[in-house]
Homo-oligomer: A and B are copies of this chain.
Amino acid sequence: MIEEGERLLLVGEKREYYVKAGAGELGTDLGTLDLSTLVGASPGDVIRTHKDVAFTILRPRPTDFFTHARRSGAPMLPKDIGMVIAYTGMNRRDEVLDAGTGSGIAAIYFGNIARKVVTCEVRPEFAALARKNVESAGLENVEVRACDVLEAGGQYDVVHLDMGLSAAHVEHAYTLLKPGGYLASYTPFLEHTFIVLDAAQSLFRDVHAYECMERELVRSGRGTRPSTRVGHSGYITVARK
């Protein structure tokens, strides 16, 4: 049963809306939706506009924030977020430090898995946008800080860096990690990947840089063939304390 204030996804044939259950209306070009009728409904139920156009009610999943979050730049792609999660073994018990929040997409993915996420963003306007996205994702365990990660303290299971990086960031990440914890960095350029690899090599164990080249297999009436939407995004470097 859906409660007042729950964030929901309304999925129609051609459009999707991300709304809050409770008093209020949503005007669409397919008619008006009465959002108070969502309270008490169940996921999978259908709600109709005053023009009788149907929308299915769904509880949003982290994947929906990739589509619906407000963006301040190009976010990390699911393939790369998946690499970070799998290679660090991110889990329910973890405390995660994320830096280079951007619009907060990665922090929201991590916050849906880990116990606690602190994410640092130096640009205050980006931090403010990310805070709105986190709030709209209903995550109370993700804290957005408008700060430089080099000033951050504490002890974490995973430190994730998606930002301009120097050796100092790698060294500081080491001090922020619990024994056995993982650093994972995301760097679009080879030169920055080299900096991370070289700085990590002398401090960490099991240092590896990976690239995930994703291809979709597209199947149509003409036939099936691979398709590359994104040729290169970045390198994921993983190192263990």
How far apart are A169's CB and chain B's nearest CB, in angstroms? Answer: 16
A83 contacts B by Cβ under 8 Å: yes
A58 contacts B by Cβ under 8 Å: yes
Report A184-241 residues with CB < 8 Å from chain B CB: 188-194, 197-198, 205, 208-217, 219, 222-229, 231-232, 235
How far apart are A91's CB and chain B's nearest CB, in angstroms? Answer: 4
Q: Main secondary structure on chain A at its contact with chain B?
A: mixed
The reply to whether A113 and B86 contact each other, CB–CB distance below 8 Å, is no
A112 contacts B by Cβ under 8 Å: yes
- Chain B's closest residue to A63 (CB) is B89
The reply to whether A227 and B231 contact each other, CB–CB distance below 8 Å, is yes
User: Inside 8 A of A79's CB, which chain B residues have their CB?
Assistant: 82-83, 86, 210, 212
User: Inside 8 A of A225's CB, which chain B residues have their CB?
Assistant: 188-190, 232
The reply to whether A85 and B88 contact each other, CB–CB distance below 8 Å, is no
- Number of this chain's copies in the complex: 4
In the bound complex, what is the Cα–Cα distance between A216 and B86 (angstroms)? 15
Most chain B CB atoms below 10 A, which of A9, A89, A215, A232? A89
A22 contacts B by Cβ under 8 Å: no
Of A30-38, A125-133, A143-151, A175-183, the stretch lying at the interface with chain B is: A175-183
The reply to whether A209 and B216 contact each other, CB–CB distance below 8 Å, is yes
User: Inside 8 A of A179's CB, which chain B residues have their CB?
Assistant: 43-44, 56-58
Query: A226 and B211 in contact (CB under 8 A), knowing A43-B178, A83-B82, A178-B44?
Result: yes
- Chain B's closest residue to A92 (CB) is B92
How far apart are A136's CB and chain B's nearest CB, in angstroms? Answer: 15
* B-contact 0/1 string along A59-83, CB 8 Å cutoff: 1111110000000000000110111
User: Inside 8 A of A62's CB, which chain B residues have their CB?
Assistant: 89, 91
In the bound complex, what is the Cα–Cα distance between A56 and B178 (angstroms)? 13
A87 contacts B by Cβ under 8 Å: yes
Known: A44-B178, A85-B113, A91-B112. 15 other contacts (CB 8 A): A11-B205, A61-B180, A62-B89, A63-B88, A79-B210, A90-B113, A91-B113, A193-B217, A197-B217, A198-B219, A209-B217, A210-B217, A211-B215, A226-B232, A228-B231
